[in-house]
Structure 1
Amino acid sequence: MAVNLRRLLPLQQMRASRRALASYLTLDGGRTLILAAIAFALMSLLTLAQTGRSATLGQELADLEVQRAVLLRERGDLSLQLAEAQAFRGIADRAAADGLRPATRDQLRYIDLSDADPTPIPLVTP
């Protein structure tokens, strides 16, 4: 590129710089091929990132489903244990093992609340 030594007016300088810029940005075959290769590489990276993310989410989903199955099985076991613990026969057997025995009729006290005042009595006064 030749060096222009004479001074140009501002308008002429702008025109000259526009021409130089236009020729600089013109894409020939090699530049077009490089630009296409870069665009292809970026799209490939994006596709790989999305594939990796979806694989990770799929694995997390599978792990959560396994955990859900384990928790449902554990919930069933705990429900069965609760039902067995609340069964009257089991409670009576545990009480007898601890040395407790059923109350007799003379140990029972009944209170008649039919004429009682239904308003609650506060336990702690403010």
Structure 2
Amino acid sequence: MHPQQDVVSVPEALQEIEQLDGFLVCVRGMLVVPAQGVYLVDLAEPVEGSIAQVWQSADRLELEEPGLVDRLYAGVPAWGGGPFSYRDEAFVVGRLVRRPNGGLSLTEIVGLTVVRQGRRYEIRFDR
């Protein structure tokens, strides 16, 4: 990660979208990978609930990066069983953008660190 870069939480990113829209940011949250899509939700949000709750959560950032799931599988062991392949603390550095439908996403991802049981997994993105 970029140590000089400020880290914001998912709720902070959502609240400060007017100031952060279009900028490279580091967001800390819970990485959630259900059957489709990759999301970052608030660390305090319970992800053990139904998949519908995670899909419908307004407090989420979609991670839009080609091949992201494949990179995760190659670098971080997936959880076995349950509705999520991943549900781990993560730090993601990418460009925060507001989509036309009003949702927010992180694109142009340049760094991803997954933290599980004290171990850090770094996923590199060459640009």
TM-score by length of 1: 0.13
Report which of the two has the higher share of helix. Answer: 1
Report which of the two has the higher share of strand. Answer: 2
Q: Larger radius of gyration, structure 1 or 2?
A: 1
